[in-house]
Amino acid sequence: MRWTGFWIGAALFLVLAYASTFMVTNTFFFFVGYVMLQFVVLATAWNILGGYAGYVNFGTSAFFGVGVYTAVALFKAFALPLPLQILAAAVVGTALGVATGMMTLRLRGIFYSIATVALVIILETFVVNWKFVGGAAGIQIVRPSLPSFFPTYEGMLFVVAAVLVVIAVAVARYVEGSWIGRGLRAIRDDELAAECSGVPTLRLKLIACGISGALMCAIGAPNPMYQQFAIPGAAFELPYSVSPLAMALIGGTAHWIGPVLGALLLSATQQYLSVTISSELSLLALGVMLVLFVIAAPEGLVGLLRKVGLFKTGTVRPSNEKGKGT
């Protein structure tokens, strides 16, 4: 897999993001942009386990919320700077991902999914009862002073999210092309056959859980700074769990670009609908698009583009073209 082009594109993207903090004066641009980038990271992280290995994580909001509250707790206790908060969140996320995986990954895939739903509610209840970080009522975050090389706070957080996007996509791209990705795809296609051929299935799944958890928690960490507020009801919100999954499926799970495209498309649609009409309608859009895509375009946008011949670069062939039995 060639990396030169990818890094040039990533560098260009970061330079543009940084430049935009000086050129764009409308804060709404950063408001929407931050949310979109946040979902790109979440969808990409989800896809590492859900797309490559076929294990559906419904607990993205558990990881996201843990990232939010790791940052809140560390900020309140030690006033740690943001990069360290993100790093700490990533460490906690890895541990949480691996621990959840160890508990349930030996079972059939559906049980992993149900366990991750459980994780959301349990962790939310825990945070609601944790007085130090504000409990159910939430907590106000006073932003520390702004580093001098950024003109606005919104701009800085936008760049932070952009950096996390580059990290997440690079990690996903690496995993996809490496032995980990090959192993995960073998698991998705036929776990029993993979195990019999000597693929270390459990270890691979745990690695994927850890990476995916770390990325989800990491993007949670800057969120309280961005909102200037953290409340368990919002941090562990169910749409945070379903949107990344929907975005990955809509974009296409076989290639790393899929979740990125899906996240940009769906989050833009949702933002547009909730600003112009109502937030219920954006939930409806999520539901309808999810159902339509899984029924009519199981390969997602990437699959559609492939069909019309616009997209050829993928090294990974989608697995379920021929009807494979179960």
Partner 1 sequence: MSFDFELLRDAIVFGLLLGCFYAAVSLGLSVAFGLLDVPHLAYPAFLVLGSYGTYMLYTLGFDPLVAGVILTPVFFVLGILMYRIYYETFEKRGADSGVRGLAFFFGVMFIIEVAIIQMFGVDQRTVSASYIGRSLEIGEMRIPNRLIVAFIVALVIAATLYLYLSRTFTGRAIRAVAQDEGALRLMGANPVAIKQWAFGIATATLALAGALLIIVAPIEPTLDRAYIGRTFCVVVMAGLGSMGGTLIAGIILGVAEEVVKIYGASWAPAISFGLLLVILAVRPQGLFGR
Q: How far is the CB of 190 from partner 1 (least distance, A)?
A: 12
Of 38, 70, 113, 212, the residue at the interface with partner 1 (CB under 8 A) is 113
Q: Report d(CA 73, CA 141) in Å as an integer.
A: 11
Q: Does residue 131 touch partner 1 according to CB under 8 A?
A: no
Interface characters, 246-275, with partner 1 (x: CB under 8 A): x--x---x----------------------
Query: Based on the number of CB atoms within 10 Å of its own CB, is 86 exposed (0-12), middle (13-18) or buried (19 or more)?
Result: buried
Q: Report d(CA 302, CA 296) in Å as an integer.
A: 13
DSSP-derived pairing of the beta strands 139-140 and 229-230 = antiparallel
Q: How far is the CB of 38 from partner 1 (least distance, A)?
A: 20
- If the CB atoms of residues 222 and 252 are measured against partner 1, the closer one turns out to be 252
Instruction: From residue 234, give the alpha-carbon distance in Å to each of 12, 22, 78.
Output: 33, 31, 24
Binding part of the chain for partner 1, among 3-11, 68-76, 111-119, 169-177 by CB under 8 A, reads: 111-119
Q: Which two tokens stand for residue 213?
A: 């958890």
Contacts of 128 (CB under 8 A, 6+ apart): 135, 136, 232
Subset of 164-193 contacting partner 1 (CB under 8 A): 188
Of 3, 28, 126, 132, the residue at the interface with partner 1 (CB under 8 A) is 126
Subset of 134-153 contacting partner 1 (CB under 8 A): 136
Q: How many CB atoms lie within 10 A of CB 87?
A: 14
Of 248, 210, 244, 253, residue with least CA distance to 102: 210
Of 78, 280, 315, 317, the residue at the interface with partner 1 (CB under 8 A) is 280
Of 14, 118, 264, 265, the residue at the interface with partner 1 (CB under 8 A) is 118
CA triple 58-64-69, angle to 5 deg: 135
Q: Does residue 5 touch partner 1 according to CB under 8 A?
A: no
Instruction: From residue 200, give the alpha-carbon distance in Å to each of 65, 182, 326.
Output: 31, 12, 21
Binding part of the chain for partner 1, among 54-62, 76-84, 216-224, 258-266 by CB under 8 A, reads: 54-62
Q: How many CB atoms lie within 10 A of CB 239?
A: 15
Binding part of the chain for partner 1, among 13-21, 137-145, 217-225, 239-247 by CB under 8 A, reads: 239-247
Of 36, 115, 159, 160, the residue at the interface with partner 1 (CB under 8 A) is 115
Binding site for partner 1 (CB under 8 A): 50, 54, 56, 58, 103-104, 107, 109-111, 113-115, 117-119, 121-122, 124-126, 128-129, 136, 188, 238, 242, 245-246, 249, 253, 280-281, 283-284, 286-291, 294-295, 298, 319-320, 323-326
